[in-house]
């Protein structure tokens, strides 16, 4: 071919580039039709655009938008095509040097994506149907390939949940350790309270002048050079520190207010920064007091949390997955522990303890790196384990012929005692007040309570069936009120009066939904996984027979509702259940996590709305699941 002009050369280069991009798109598993510009939006789609205000932007930015930047097979991202080509999904180019979009860019992307969505109707949303396989209900073709084989794909379900929840103005964003934009109390702190720390008060140095220096209990971040106010990241650090000095809802018990208040007005005897507030009628004092009154205790505790992680042991593999509940993504995988069973943590999060069935050892893992530090030999085959409230002892249940609990001192990592119990131990727990350990045996059908001060069994109760997972309800004084125990062969749970040492009643779960458990071979454990929310107001129970989670009100045990779990689609067979196993919660109780052993996944559920938030891929047969909280 003879090139006659520079213009001809430029045209050829454009054609070749376009062909190369189209080829990359065809090889990539995620894009919403890189070449589809054939027809303008229909009236229906314009209506969908007008409905974009009902879609939740915060959830979009936290969960949906990162999908477009995910590196796919062939090292191609949706972004690579959809930021340079004129498609219906036209994404904003990233700013040079940035790995994610700014909020303004995200809002422009959000407006575009909204045109591809029918709020509350996932199966009418092009964003979901175009990349979905035709046999699963998707569009016939997609230039970017069909990367969702079924509607059970975790990414598909995450987007579908966002679309399906769009009728509500409430955000479906998960809660956890990572900083989120709707952190309770933060916005009002930044606009009302924080400026007080920079204010020049007559005759006084600014709060900032002292509290940005040295290692003080109340420490303020240093302002960036040339800045007169804190940036958002610095403000969030200040917010976290301030919460340590506040009793939510109670200004008079909050050191933030009482320490700088003049003693003659009810303040503390001395403040090295002087009497910043002469009286409780000071306008700035009143602003701070009003802010403290509006804080919710559980929200403030969550905001003050520095780290939350969800750990799930993959019982048929050699890994433990670690999930960040702020993003519902796996952020770490611990390798080299074959057949991991239970998992617990030191109070400061520096150590993770995992019972290892393959080697009959207690693995001690570095909480930061995930590296195995020690392997402590056990006297028999372990099942579940627990840790005392002070973090000084790890208790490992041993499932051998006689059964016992092995006690390890966490300072020396030495075994200190074997505590005999009534039968091989499957699960072991510490009661809410930290005074007792409770062991359950499938083999002897016994529940055994151990006094942790004397390290001796103090009472037993035969349940008539194998004792499975348990959960605990506390009295107002923190002592243990009731045990909720799941049993072999029973689709429900038993209620045990802790003080009287008797079974009060058995509560059978509803028959509907139902129809699961037989194909999965789980008729012996129709109900598995149980937990009380951190605020003690509800009990959640997982059912394999129903492939669902049921919520009961506490203390009444009134059924409130249920949440269906993902289904599994075996080839050539009818759908089966995900086989739920264990339950845990975020510290505020707003999100529940359940391991789906038959689906190789973990489901995140909004406990208030009883709605699925996310499905997170896991390893082989995920079972025991627990929440690490470090404050």
Name residues whose C-beta falls within 8 Å of residue 289's C-beta, 6 or more positions apart in sequence.
251, 257, 280
Query: By mean pLDDT, which of 86-95, 97-106, 452-461, 506-515 is the weakest?
Result: 97-106
Query: By mean pLDDT, which of 48-62, 276-290, 342-356, 558-572 is the weakest?
Result: 48-62
**172-188: b or e for each residue (b if 16 or more CB lie within 10 Å)?**
bbbbbbeebeebbbbee
Please report the pLDDT score of residue 384 as a whole number: 97
For 414: left if phi > 0, alpha if psi spans -120 to 50, otherwise beta; the answer is beta
Which domains, ranges and CATH numbers included, belong to the chain?
Answer: 6-164 (no CATH), 186-295 (no CATH), 301-630 (2.130.10.10)
Q: Considering the chain, what percentage of its residues have pLDDT values greater than 70? A: 84
Over residues 81-104, the pLDDT tens digits come to: 788 777 788 899 988 766 678 888
Please report the pLDDT score of residue 166 as a whole number: 55
CA 617, CA 619: separation in Å to the nearest integer? 7
Please report the pLDDT score of residue 169 as a whole number: 35
CB 616 within 8 A of CB 600: no
DSSP character for 619? S
**Class of residue 615 by CB neighbours under 10 A (exposed 0-12, middle 13-18, buried 19+):** buried
CA 356, CA 183: separation in Å to the nearest integer? 38
For the chain, give the mean pLDDT. 84
DSSP bridge partners of 329: 324
Helices (H), 219-366: 232-243, 255-258, 283-294, 297-304
The pTM (predicted TM-score) of the whole model is 0.58
Q: Considering the chain, what percentage of its residues have pLDDT values greater than 90? A: 50
Provide the token pair at 296: 């919710």
CA 276, CA 260: separation in Å to the nearest integer? 5
Name residues whose C-beta falls within 8 Å of residue 385's C-beta, 6 or more positions apart in sequence.
341, 342, 343, 344, 353, 355, 362, 394, 395, 396, 397, 428
DSSP bridge partners of 449: 438, 459
Query: By mean pLDDT, which of 100-109, 145-154, 370-379, 420-429 is the weakest?
Result: 145-154
CA 281, CA 256: separation in Å to the nearest integer? 16
**Cis bond before residue 555 (omega within 30° of 0):** yes
Over residues 197-237, the pLDDT tens digits come to: 998 888 888 999 888 876 566 889 888 887 778 888 888 88
Distances (CA, A) of 273 to 204, 205, 207, 230, 514: 8, 8, 8, 21, 65
Residue 44: band (very low, low, confident or very high) from pLDDT cuts 50, 70, 90: very low
> In 10 A of CB 135, how many CB atoms?
9
DSSP bridge partners of 493: 507
Query: By mean pLDDT, which of 322-326, 342-346, 458-462, 514-518 is the weakest?
Result: 514-518
pLDDT at 71 over 80: no
Q: Which residue has the tokens 């240093």?
A: 222
CA 401, CA 304: separation in Å to the nearest integer? 46
Residue 273: band (very low, low, confident or very high) from pLDDT cuts 50, 70, 90: confident
Please report the pLDDT score of residue 473 as a whole number: 96
With the CA atoms of 377, 393, 441 and 559 taken in that order, what torsion angle do they form, in degrees rounded to the nearest 10?
-140
Over residues 285-342, the pLDDT tens digits come to: 999 999 998 886 555 555 555 689 999 999 999 999 999 998 999 999 999 999 999 9
Three-state SS annotation for 445-499: CEEEEEECCCCEEEEEEECCCCEEEEEEEECCCCCEEEEEEEECCCCEEEEEECC
For 460: left if phi > 0, alpha if psi spans -120 to 50, otherwise beta; the answer is beta
588 vs 362, more confident: 362
Nearest 5°: CA angle at 54, between 49 and 56? 105
> In 10 A of CB 63, how many CB atoms?
23
Please report the pLDDT score of residue 624 as a whole number: 97
> In 10 A of CB 479, how many CB atoms?
14
- The distance from CA 280 to its chain's CA centroid, rounded to whole angstroms, is 41
Smallest CA-to-CA distance from 629 within 580, 589, 596, 594 is with 589
Smallest CA-to-CA distance from 539 within 558, 560, 554, 556 is with 554
Provide the token pair at 6: 């520079």
Q: What are phi and psi of 123, to 5 degrees?
A: -80, 5
Q: Which residue has the tokens 């505790």?
A: 301
**Class of residue 443 by CB neighbours under 10 A (exposed 0-12, middle 13-18, buried 19+):** middle
Smallest CA-to-CA distance from 131 within 109, 104, 160, 103 is with 160
Please report the pLDDT score of residue 119 as a whole number: 82
Residue 146: band (very low, low, confident or very high) from pLDDT cuts 50, 70, 90: low
CA 51, CA 163: separation in Å to the nearest integer? 11
CB 325 within 8 A of CB 265: no
pLDDT at 22 over 50: no
* CA neighbours closer than 13 Å in the CB half-sphere of residue 170: 8
DSSP, collapsed to helix, strand or coil, labels residue 88 as: coil
CB 300 within 8 A of CB 185: yes
């Amino acid at each position: 071919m003879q090139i006659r002009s520079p213009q001809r050369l430029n045209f050829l280069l454009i054609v070749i580039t376009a062909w190369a991009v189209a080829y990359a798109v065809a090889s990539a598993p995620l894009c919403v039709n890189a070449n589809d510009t054939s027809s303008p939006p229909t009236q229906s789609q314009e209506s969908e655009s007008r409905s974009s205000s009902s879609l939740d932007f915060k959830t979009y930015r936290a969960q949906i938008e990162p999908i477009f930047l995910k590196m796919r097979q062939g090292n191609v991202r949706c972004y690579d095509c959809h930021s340079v080509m004129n498609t219906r999904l036209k994404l904003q180019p990233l700013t040079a040097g940035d790995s994610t979009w700014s909020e303004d860019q995200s809002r422009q992307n959000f407006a575009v994506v909204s045109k591809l969505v029918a709020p509350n109707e996932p199966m009418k949303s092009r964003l979901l149907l175009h990349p979905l396989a035709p046999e699963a209900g998707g569009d016939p073709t997609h230039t970017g390939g069909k990367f969702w084989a079924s509607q059970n794909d975790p990414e598909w379900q995450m987007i579908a949940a966002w679309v399906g929840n769009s009728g509500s103005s409430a955000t479906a964003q998960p809660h956890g350790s990572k900083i989120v934009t709707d952190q309770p109390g933060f916005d009002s702190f930044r606009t009302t309270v924080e400026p007080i720390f920079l204010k020049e008060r007559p005759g006084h140095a600014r709060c900032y002048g002292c509290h940005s220096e040295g290692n003080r209990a109340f420490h303020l971040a240093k302002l960036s050079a040339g800045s007169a106010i804190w940036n958002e990241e610095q403000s969030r650090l200040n917010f976290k520190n301030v919460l340590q000095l506040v009793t939510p809802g109670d200004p008079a018990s909050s050191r933030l207010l009482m320490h700088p208040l003049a003693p003659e007005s009810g303040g503390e005897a001395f403040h090295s920064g002087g009497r910043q507030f002469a009286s409780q009628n000071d306008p700035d004092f009143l602003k701070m007091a009003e802010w403290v009154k509006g804080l919710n205790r559980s929200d403030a505790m969550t905001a003050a949390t520095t780290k939350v992680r969800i750990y799930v042991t993959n019982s048929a593999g050699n890994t433990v997955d670690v999930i960040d509940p702020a993003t519902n993504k796996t952020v770490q995988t611990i390798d080299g522990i074959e057949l991991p069973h239970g998992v617990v943590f030191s109070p400061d999060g520096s150590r993770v303890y995992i019972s290892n069935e393959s080697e009959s050892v207690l693995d001690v893992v570095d909480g930061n790196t995930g590296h195995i530090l020690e392997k402590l030999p056990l006297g028999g085959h372990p099942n579940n384990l627990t840790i005392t409230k002070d973090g000084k002892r790890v208790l490992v249940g041993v499932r051998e012929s006689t059964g016992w609990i092995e006690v390890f001192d966490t300072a020396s990592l030495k075994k200190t005692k074997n505590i005999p119990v009534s039968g091989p131990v499957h699960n072991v727990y510490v009661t809410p007040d930290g005074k007792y350990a409770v062991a359950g045996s499938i083999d002897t059908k016994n529940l055994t309570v151990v006094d942790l001060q004397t390290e001796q069994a103090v009472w037993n109760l035969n349940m008539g069936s194998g004792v499975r997972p348990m959960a605990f309800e506390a009295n107002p004084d923190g002592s243990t009120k009731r045990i909720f125990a799941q049993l072999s062969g029973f689709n429900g749970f038993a209620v045990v009066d802790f003080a009287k040492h008797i079974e009060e009643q058995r509560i059978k779960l509803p028959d509907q939904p139902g129809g699961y458990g037989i194909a999965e071979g789980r008729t012996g454990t129709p109900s598995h996984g149980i937990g009380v929310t951190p605020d003690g107001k509800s009990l959640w129970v997982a059912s394999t027979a129903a492939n669902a989670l049921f919520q009961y009100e506490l203390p009444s045990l009134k059924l409130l509702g249920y949440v269906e779990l993902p289904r599994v689609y075996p080839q050539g067979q009818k759908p089966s259940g995900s086989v739920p196993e264990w339950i845990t919660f975020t510290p505020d109780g707003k999100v529940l996590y359940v391991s789906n052993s038959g689906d190789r996944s973990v489901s995140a559920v909004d406990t208030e709305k009883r709605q699925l938030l996310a499905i997170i891929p896991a390893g082989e047969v995920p079972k025991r699941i627990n929440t690490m909280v470090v404050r």
